Amino acid sequence: MSSNIGVMDAVILGVVEGLTEFLPVSSTGHLKITEGLLGIDVDDKSVVGFTAVIQVGAIAAVIVYFIKDIVRIVSAWGRGIAHKEQRHDRDYKFAWWVIYATIPIVIVGIAMKPLIHGPLASLWVVAGSLIVGSGVMWYAESVGGKRGRRRGEDEVTLKDAMVVGSSQILALLFPGFSRSGATISTALILGLDRVAATRLSFFLSIPALTGAGIYELKDATEGHTSGLAIAVGTGVSFIVAYASVAWLLKFVSKHTINGFAVYRVLVGLALIGMLASGFLDA
C-alpha cells in the first residue's frame, strides 16, 4: 500500500468524488473502495486529507449551480445583520438555520477525529454502512409515501434544518452511510418532498464540506502527493459534480431514491466478498 497519489490516481478519484458526493450512495465509501483497488493506503492521514480537499471541488460545483439562491440568501442575511427590521425575511432566517445546523457536525468532527480516522475508517465499516444506510433510505421513502401532501422548500422550518443537519453525523462517523443519503432520508421522514429534501441537503453540504476540506488541507500536503495532483483531483471533481447535481435534481422530481438503495446493497455485498476473499485489504 502507498500513500502517494499520482496525477492519474487523482483524476480517477476526482471522477469518483464528483459522481458520488451528492448522490445518496456514499462518496467516502466509493473513494475508499477505489483507493483500495488502486493500492493506496486508505488509513494514511495524507490520503484522508486528500479525500477531504477534493470535496471542495464538488462543493464549488454546488455553489456555482445555486449561485443565484446563495447570493439572495447571503444578501438577506447581511441586510438582517445590519437592519433589525429586515430580520423577518425568510432568507435571513434560513441563513442562520444553515449555520446552526452545521454546529453539531463540527463539534463531533473535531471531538471524534481520532476515531473517525482510525477504527471507523475500515472498509468493513464502509460495507456495513452501505447496507444499513440503504435500509434507512428505503424506510424514508416508505414513510414519506404514506403521508398525504409533502411539504415544499418554502415550508422548511428551523427544526427541519437542525434535524437534517445533525443527521450528517451518521455519515461522518460511519463512512459508507452517505451524507446526502442521511440528509435526504431524514428530510423525507420529516415530511419534505424529494426536491425540497435534496435542495436542503445541498445547502447544508456547503459549510460542512468546505470546513472539512480546509481543516484537512495540511494533512493532504504532508504526504508525497503533489500540489498538481491535489489541484487536478479538485478540478475534475468540480466538473463531474456540477453535472451530477443537475442530473440528481431532475431525477428526484420524478423518481424515488429506492434505486440508489438497491445499488448500495449490491456494492456493500460485493465489498464484503472482496474483503472476505482477501482481494482487498480492510
Residue 172 CA from chain centroid, whole number: 9
The pLDDT of residue 204: 93
The pLDDT of residue 6: 85
Tell me the average pLDDT across 47-57.
82
* SS3 (DSSP) at 254: coil
Write the burial class of residue 114 (CB in 10 Å: 0-12 exposed, 13-18 middle, 19+ buried). Answer: exposed
Q: What is the dihedral of CA 56, 4, 110, 67, to 10 degrees?
A: 0
Quick one: what percent of the chain has pLDDT higher than 70?
93
Contact (CB, 8 A) for 77 and 91: yes
DSSP percent split of the chain into helix, strand, coil, nearest 5: 80, 0, 20
The pLDDT of residue 226: 76
Contact (CB, 8 A) for 16 and 28: no
Position 189 pLDDT exceeds 80: yes
pLDDT band at 210 (very low <50, low <70, confident <90, very high): confident
CB atoms within 10 A of CB 55: 28
The residue type found at 148 is G
Express each pLDDT in 54-104 by its tens digit. Answer: 888 998 999 999 999 999 999 999 999 999 999 999 999 999 999 999 999
The overall average pLDDT reported for the chain is 89
pLDDT band at 150 (very low <50, low <70, confident <90, very high): confident
- List the domain boundaries for the chain: 7-277
The residue type found at 97 is W
DSSP string, 29-92: HHHHHHHHHTTB-TT-HHHHHHHHHHHHHHHHHHHHHTHHHHHHHHHHHHHHHH-GGGTT-HHH
CB atoms within 10 A of CB 256: 18
pTM of the predicted structure, to 2 decimals: 0.88
Helix axes 179-189, 194-222, angle to 10 degrees: 150
The pLDDT of residue 55: 85
The pLDDT of residue 89: 93
* SS3 (DSSP) at 253: coil
The pLDDT of residue 27: 86
Q: Is 53 left (phi over 0), alpha (psi -120 to 50) or beta?
A: alpha
Position 217 pLDDT exceeds 70: no
Position 40 pLDDT exceeds 90: no
Position 145 pLDDT exceeds 70: no
Report, in angstroms and rounded to the nearest whole number, the Rg of the chain calculated over CA atoms: 18
Write the burial class of residue 227 (CB in 10 Å: 0-12 exposed, 13-18 middle, 19+ buried). Answer: exposed
Position 112 pLDDT exceeds 90: no
Position 249 pLDDT exceeds 70: yes
Residues pairing with 151 in the sheet: 192
Residue 194 CA from chain centroid, whole number: 17
Position 1 pLDDT exceeds 60: no
Higher pLDDT, 95 or 229: 95
CA distances from 276 to 52, 122, 124, 199, 280 (A): 28, 13, 10, 38, 8
**Phi (first) and psi of residue 278, to 5 degrees:** 85, 5
